Amino acid sequence: MTRQAGGANVSTVLIALGSNLGDRLGHLQAGLAAVSALPQTSLTAVSGLYETAPVGGPDNQGPFLNAAATIETALAPARLLSALHTIEASRDRERRVRWGPRTLDLDILVYGVQVSDAPDLTLPHPRMHERRFVLVPVADIAPDLIHPGLGRSIAALLAALPAEDGDLVCVDRDWATDLPPPDPTR
Ligand code: A4P
Ligand code: MG
């Protein structure tokens, strides 16, 4: 959804958060605080926190913490992605192996009703509908949201995905109530 606010187009955007390296909860909390402090952006909903088994990537990586959040933002998609990459870098994110362990991953899942197959920013995120570690958190905050590419609700997409034993467990519903203030040194 996009609407006018004070002359700017404001869109509803779904973001996925993930971490499986170092202080996982600290990275997610700091990442979310930084997202909510972005200019022309407000945080409107945050999912529970889930511990999830790694999907893909190297064999021996540790479990992830995953969550999802909704923001309202006037930042254009490319500008928002670049801001998310800056926040990832502030948590010492390194990119070595595809789907390898990471301190903080911030993906744009859905940006309004935009659909794009550009490799730098594919919208909606090309794998979101195949992944319970994405759809379960998103269903906490936006079960009725229609996937702009597939035309089906998040709840319907999730219902179509088989659960695997131990693939995911909710570990905290209130992990984002006391976010740290943004760290000016990072
Ligand atoms: N990119 C394209 N579209 C987007 C988008 N919608 N949002 C480009 C964010 N980035 C997008 O991303 C690689 C490139 O994707 C970027 O240059 C960006 O321009 P990355 O963050 O460097 O690396 P990545 O996250 O490893 O890549 P990718 O392919 O997006 O990974 P996935 O598909 O997100 O999978 N298992 C569990 N349990 N939990 C997880 O969070 N995450 C992954 C990563 C694999 N397994 C996981 C988890
Ligand atoms: Mg990513």
Residue 118 lies in a domain: yes
Cα atoms found within 13 Å of the Cα of residue 144, Cβ hemisphere only? 0
- State pLDDT tens for residues 67-89: 999 999 999 999 999 999 999 99
Residue 177 lies in a domain: no
105 counts as catalytic: yes
165 counts as catalytic: no
Distance CA 21, CA 5 (A): 38
- State pLDDT tens for residues 60-71: 899 999 999 999
Q: Which of 42, 43, 63, 61 is nearest to 52 (CA)?
A: 63
Give the binding-site residues of ligand 1, using a 6 Å CB cut-off: 18, 52-57, 64, 66, 81, 95, 98-99, 105, 107-108, 120-123, 125, 127, 133
Assess whether pLDDT exceeds 80 at residue 133. Answer: yes
Residue 180 lies in a domain: no
CATH (domain of 136)? 3.30.70.560
* Full domain range(s) for residue 6: 2-165
**Predicted local distance difference test score (pLDDT) of residue 186:** 66
Phi then psi dihedrals of residue 99, to 5 deg: 60, 20
93 counts as catalytic: yes
Phi then psi dihedrals of residue 157, to 5 deg: -60, -40
Cα atoms found within 13 Å of the Cα of residue 111, Cβ hemisphere only? 21
Q: What number does the ligand 1 atom closest to the CA of 120 have?
A: 19
Average pLDDT, the chain: 92
Assess whether pLDDT exceeds 90 at residue 168. Answer: yes
**Predicted local distance difference test score (pLDDT) of residue 98:** 78
Amino acid at 125: H
Instruction: Single out the catalytic residue among 79, 91, 98, 105.
Output: 105
